[in-house]
Structure 1
Amino acid sequence: MWSNSDHSKSKIETGSFYEAQAKQFLVNQGLIFIEQNVNFKTGELDLIMKHNKHLVFVEVRYRSSQDYGGAVTSITASKQARVRRAAQTYLQKHFGNRPPPCRIDVVAFEGANTKAIWIKNAFA
């Protein structure tokens, strides 16, 4: 595990690190991993998991400080809309007119605290 304060890490490396942390956290909570970093013109899905009968689209966020509101508040309305559109595209592509029940969760990490903040059905 590398230090959160290592500023030499690129944004992509940092994002990959926290996506892996979120994935492991959710697997430990009993979710089943499906896919990661699924991209569409409409947006990106960080993680796709299964929780019981629900398909779960997971937005992973990290902020090194809470100076501007932290990781959770960094999810703007436009970001939420992009995630929703990407989730709708995924559902249409994979399930057509018969999508399973689904939700969008957020797993956030803030500062030196590596403990995950898990918000189920965050964009309800």
Structure 2
Amino acid sequence: MSRKTTGNAGEQAARRLLEQHGLQHVQSNYRCDLGEIDLIMRDHHHWVFVEVKSRDNEVFAHILEQITAAQCQRIRRCAQFFLMEHQLNEHTTALRFDVVTVVNSTQQAQWLQDAF
């Protein structure tokens, strides 16, 4: 499976998982000059910005070891840009940054809330 196919399958599985837990999908693959956010979701109180990590097999490093500090910073900046575009104040809007890992071969998903 190509990296793009693996990533798309993982993002779809992550979205299903989050929707099963009551989150509402807002946007997939949000891009701006500052970076990309895999999924943007809403729960009752938060805008949730989700980084999805997917693999074809079960060989995974620890969930947080897969995301660098620079990547977290890019996601945060991209989220700030999203909020600005939607006329939301980043200081008064409840935000959360989550990570979902997906093993495509088994559709096993792991969700870490408030990951960074």
Q: Larger radius of gyration, structure 1 or 2?
A: 1
Structure 2 match to 1:11 = 3
1:88 corresponds, among 66, 77, 80, to: 80
Relative contact order, higher structure (CA 8 A, sep 6+):
2
Structure 1 match to 2:97 = 104
1:114 aligns to 2:90 (yes or no): no
Amino acid at match of 1:37: N
Q: 2:88 & 2:62 partners in 1: Cα distance?
A: 36
TM-score, normalised with respect to structure 1: 0.82
Q: 2:63 & 2:106 partners in 1: Cα distance?
A: 12
Quote how far apart the aligned CAs of 1:118 are. Answer: 0.7
Q: 2:114 & 2:89 partners in 1: Cα distance?
A: 22
Number of aligned residues: 113
Structure 2 match to 1:27 = 19
1:52 aligns to 2:44 (yes or no): yes
Quote how far apart the aligned CAs of 1:102 are. Answer: 1.1
Which stretch of structure 1 is more off in the superposition, 97-106 or 24-33?
97-106
Structure 2 match to 1:74 = 66
- Percent of aligned pairs with the same amino acid: 36
Tell me: CA distance 1:53–1:111, structure 2 relative to 1, closer, same or farther (3 Å). closer
* Deviation string, structure 1 residues 43-80 (Cα, Å, up to 9, x no partner): 101001001021100100123423xx255421011111
SS in 1 for 2:107: strand
Q: What is the CA RMSD across the aligned residues, in angstroms?
A: 1.8
- For the 8 Å contact 1:48–1:58, the answer to whether it is kept is yes
* Deviation string, structure 1 residues 23-47 (Cα, Å, up to 9, x no partner): 0000000101110001011110100
- For the 8 Å contact 1:58–1:104, the answer to whether it is kept is yes
Amino acid at match of 1:108: T
